[in-house]
């Protein structure tokens, strides 16, 4: 029945099968489950028997008092993270690149990579401790300069700054890898030629190193466009509290509270779906731009 | 390269100093919490601890390591890590092999690739995901922590790129000698891909160790939480609305602080031991694997 060629390929299909089934259940299943955004879903009736209510959930979503705040906070925090997350690693990799002692450079790299590998539970626990207004080391240090204790995690004015700075703390070291890889790919002959032409180190950085990094910078900048609605659920969930909702509550945390704490499944799914649609559009645009600007393809 | 100008040497010194300071600043919060956890509760409560323990004591660690809740959560985490990593790797290794073939050698390859890659871009979101797992009756079971994330498409793509870098002649020779695809995968591809696979194993282990959200929402009671979810409830979850500035000092029982520090450090310890190796591996494994021609 099957040709010899098809039979030879049968094991290949079998190898895909287990992954296919799992992805079908746990990735495509939830995608199908998005219909509850258009239903008056009840857990007893289930997805199949819950009545449809058109766009009611979306209308209700727009009337939520917190929706405006949450969208604004998400955009503000995400954009600050994107800018800081691009700028800091670029500067640090340029400085790392100037280090002459390779062993020393490796030690520095190992040290700054560490926070990336720790979870936001651990980093959150650490931040809560060091930022505590009464005992935390940061406020102890501020106190030494005669500054009144600041309740960093309990003050809506400070909260976004804490979120952005701590995110940079976690990720800047690890982000330097990509840039350092780009720098390692620069042809050493360029530097030799520049030295012969009398360029000092600053000139070399300006005219060889930086241009060498530009493609990667452009690529990462365009790809980060897909993240403007991702303000970082894991981080904020572990740092925020009702007193900072005004500046710290984001779309993802709102979805969590509406959906899993208040069990308004349909409404939460509608909010999540809106976010996903905008995100997919942004990601598509960013991939298209990355392809046009930096000739980047996923495959 | 050695004839540096005076300005160049000054810059080098400043640069090295600055980067060292930055790196130490990165570790400072962790070292501070470690020092607190090793200090007496009164010293920690008085805020006397900076980088070195004051009134050194291991009491907090003794207490935590004798706490049944902590040990149970630790055990669940280890169980999850072993089971989860084994399943992750089995699936990644077998999925990457067929997808690394040319469309001519494997009909349907392109369709499969799209089927998997689409899931990187779109998902159902939190609530439908939760409802599916609930519907399957997995809530409260270790499988709920292991199966939903079992297929990591990113890792499969990394590994398939690594597979593609292997010399085609090996496979052709094995075919001539009568080996089938399974044999070729396990006897040729897997041994040759060990650098990449080792990297992915470590990444998978770190991922399972660090996961906390799924445990928090998919387990029925705190007694079923893995370590990070357990820590979420004891270290993170506190209601700031109840704490005013002046209360903070009195409310926080002094020993509570050293205990939290000890638990944080114990949960971070395996990662601290493992990640320097990850660093060495991913330069060889991932970067090589992700290079495209």
B49-71 tens-digit pLDDT: 888 888 888 888 888 888 888 99
Q: What is the pLDDT of residue B89?
A: 97
Which two three-digit tokens encode residue A296?
A: 């980047």
Does B287 sit within 8 Å of A130, measured CB to CB? no
Distance, in angstroms, between B69 CA and closest chain A CA? 17
DSSP for A44-63, written as a single string: TTHHHHSPB-TTHHHHHHHH
ipTM exceeds 0.85: yes
Tell me the three state secondary structure of residue A39.
strand
Asked whether residue B290 carries a pLDDT value surpassing 70, the answer given is: no
Q: What is the pLDDT of residue A12?
A: 93
Of A120, A142, A135, A152, nearest to A253 by C-alpha is A120
Asked whether residue B240 carries a pLDDT value surpassing 60, the answer given is: no
pLDDT digits (tens, 9 = 90+) for B84-140: 999 999 999 999 999 999 888 888 899 999 999 889 888 888 999 999 999 999 999
Does B182 sit within 8 Å of A11, measured CB to CB? yes
Which two three-digit tokens encode residue A40?
A: 């008056």
User: By CA distance, what is A265's nearest residue in B?
Assistant: B127
Which two three-digit tokens encode residue A86?
A: 């691009």
Q: Own/partner pairs for A283-288, CB < 8 Å, 24+ apart?
A: A283/A225, A283/A226, A283/B121, A284/B121, A285/A225, A286/A222, A286/A223, A286/A224, A286/A225, A286/A226, A287/A223, A287/A226
Residue where the block lists tokens 């392809």: A291
Q: Where are the domains of chain A?
A: 1-54, 64-294
Distance, in angstroms, between B8 CA and closest chain A CA? 8
Does A101 sit within 8 Å of B132, measured CB to CB? no
Q: What is the pLDDT of residue B272?
A: 92
User: By CA distance, what is A266's nearest residue in B?
Assistant: B127
Q: For residue B184, how far is the Cα from the chain centroid?
A: 30
Asked whether residue B1 carries a pLDDT value surpassing 50, the answer given is: no
Separation CA B152–CA B157 (nearest Å): 9
Does A92 sit within 8 Å of B212, measured CB to CB? no
Residue A147 is given by DSSP the state: P
Which two three-digit tokens encode residue A206?
A: 């300006």
Q: Let me know: does B193 contact B97? Beta carbons within 8 Å.
A: no
Separation CA B187–CA B164 (nearest Å): 16
Tell me the three state secondary structure of residue B106.
coil
The confidence band for B75, taking pLDDT boundaries of 50, 70 and 90, is very high
- The CATH architecture one would assign to domain B65-291 is Orthogonal Bundle (1.10)
Of A177, A178, A186, nearest to A205 by C-alpha is A186
* Average pLDDT along chain B: 85
Asked whether residue B2 carries a pLDDT value surpassing 60, the answer given is: no
Q: Which of A28, A119, A142 to mutate to test the interface with B (most CBs of B within 10 A)?
A: A119
The confidence band for B244, taking pLDDT boundaries of 50, 70 and 90, is very low
Chain B positions in Cβ-Cβ contact with residue A18 (cut-off 8 Å): 91, 94
Q: What is the mean pLDDT of residues B278-287?
A: 58
What is the CATH number that goes with domain A64-294?
1.10.3720.10
Question: Distances in Å between the alpha carbon of A199 and those of A93, A207, B2, B12, B170?
Answer: 21, 9, 16, 17, 49
Which two three-digit tokens encode residue B110?
A: 């392109």
Q: What is the pLDDT of residue B225?
A: 93
Q: Let me know: does A298 contact B117? Beta carbons within 8 Å.
A: yes
Which two three-digit tokens encode residue B8?
A: 């160049």
Q: Let me know: does A185 contact A152? Beta carbons within 8 Å.
A: no
pLDDT digits (tens, 9 = 90+) for B158-192: 899 889 888 888 888 998 988 899 999 999 999 99
* Average pLDDT along chain A: 90
Chain A positions in Cβ-Cβ contact with residue B293 (cut-off 8 Å): none
Q: Let me know: does A1 contact B172? Beta carbons within 8 Å.
A: no
Separation CA A240–CA A77 (nearest Å): 13
Distance, in angstroms, between A76 CA and closest chain B CA? 22
Report, as ranges of residue numbers, the positions in chain A whose pLDDT lies below 50. Answer: none
| B50 vs A33, A137, A153: nearest CB | A137
Does A134 sit within 8 Å of B252, measured CB to CB? yes
Separation CA B112–CA A40 (nearest Å): 35
Q: What is the pLDDT of residue A186?
A: 87
Give per-residue burial for B165-185: e unless 16+ CB within 10 Å, then b. Answer: eeeeeebeebeeeebebeebb
Separation CA B256–CA B70 (nearest Å): 15
């Amino acid at each position: 029945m099957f040709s010899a060629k098809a039979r030879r390929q049968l094991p290949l299909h079998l190898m895909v099968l287990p992954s296919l089934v799992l992805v079908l259940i746990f990735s495509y299943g939830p995608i199908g489950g998005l219909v509850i955004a258009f239903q008056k879903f009840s857990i007893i009736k289930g997805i199949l028997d819950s009545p449809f209510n058109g766009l009611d959930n979306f209308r209700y979503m727009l009337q939520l008092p917190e929706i405006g705040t949450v969208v604004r906070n998400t955009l503000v925090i995400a954009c600050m993270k994107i800018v800081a997350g691009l700028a800091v690693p670029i500067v640090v990799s340029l400085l790392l690149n100037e280090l002459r002692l390779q062993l020393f450079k490796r030690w520095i790299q190992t040290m700054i990579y560490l926070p990336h590998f720790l979870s936001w539970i651990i980093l959150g626990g650490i931040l809560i401790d060091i930022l505590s207004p009464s005992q935390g080391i940061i406020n102890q240090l501020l106190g030494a300069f005669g500054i009144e204790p600041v309740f960093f995690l309990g003050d809506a004015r400070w909260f976004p700054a804490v979120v952005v700075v701590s995110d940079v703390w976690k990720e800047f070291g690890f982000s330097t890898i990509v840039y350092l890889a780009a720098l390692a790919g620069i042809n050493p002959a360029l530097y030799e030629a520049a030295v012969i032409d009398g360029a000092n180190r600053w000139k070399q950085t300006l005219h060889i190193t930086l241009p060498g990094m530009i493609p990667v910078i452009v690529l990462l900048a365009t790809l980060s466009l897909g993240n403007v609605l991702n303000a970082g659920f894991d981080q904020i969930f572990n740092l925020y509290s009702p007193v900072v909702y005004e500046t710290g509550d984001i779309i993802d945390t709102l979805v969590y509270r509406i959906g899993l704490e208040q069990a308004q499944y349909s409404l939460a799914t509608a909010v999540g779906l809106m976010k996903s649609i905008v995100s997919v559009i942004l990601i598509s645009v960013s991939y298209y731009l990355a392809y046009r600007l930096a000739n980047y393809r996923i495959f | 390269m050695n004839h540096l100008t005076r300005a160049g040497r000054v810059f080098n010194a400043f640069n090295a100093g600055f980067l060292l300071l930055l790196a130490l600043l990165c570790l400072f919060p962790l070292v501070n919490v470690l020092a607190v956890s090793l200090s007496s509760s009164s010293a920690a409560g008085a805020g006397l601890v900076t980088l070195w323990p004051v009134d050194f004591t291991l009491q907090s660690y003794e207490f935590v390591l004798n706490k049944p809740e902590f040990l149970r959560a630790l055990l669940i985490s280890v169980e999850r890590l072993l089971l989860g990593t084994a399943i992750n790797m089995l699936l990644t290794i077998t999925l990457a092999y067929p997808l690394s073939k040319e469309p001519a050698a494997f009909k349907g390859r392109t369709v499969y690739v799209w089927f998997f890659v689409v899931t990187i871009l779109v998902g159902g979101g939190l609530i439908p995901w939760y409802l599916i797992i609930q519907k399957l009756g997995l809530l409260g079971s270790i499988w709920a922590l292991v199966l939903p994330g079992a297929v990591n498409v990113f890792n499969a793509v990394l590994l398939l790129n690594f597979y593609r870098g292997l010399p085609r002649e090996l496979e052709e020779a094995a075919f001539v000698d009568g080996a089938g695809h399974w044999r070729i995968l396990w006897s040729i591809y897997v041994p040759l891909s060990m650098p990449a696979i080792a990297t992915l194993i470590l990444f998978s282990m770190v991922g399972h160790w660090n996961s906390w959200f799924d445990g928090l929402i998919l387990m029925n009671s705190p007694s079923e939480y893995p370590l990070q979810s357990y820590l979420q409830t004891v270290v993170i979850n506190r209601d700031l609305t109840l704490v005013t500035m002046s209360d903070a000092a009195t409310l926080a029982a002094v020993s509570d602080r050293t205990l939290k520090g000890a638990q944080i450090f114990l949960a971070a310890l395996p990662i601290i031991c493992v990640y320097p190796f990850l660093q060495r591996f991913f330069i060889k494994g991932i970067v090589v694997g992700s290079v495209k021609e």
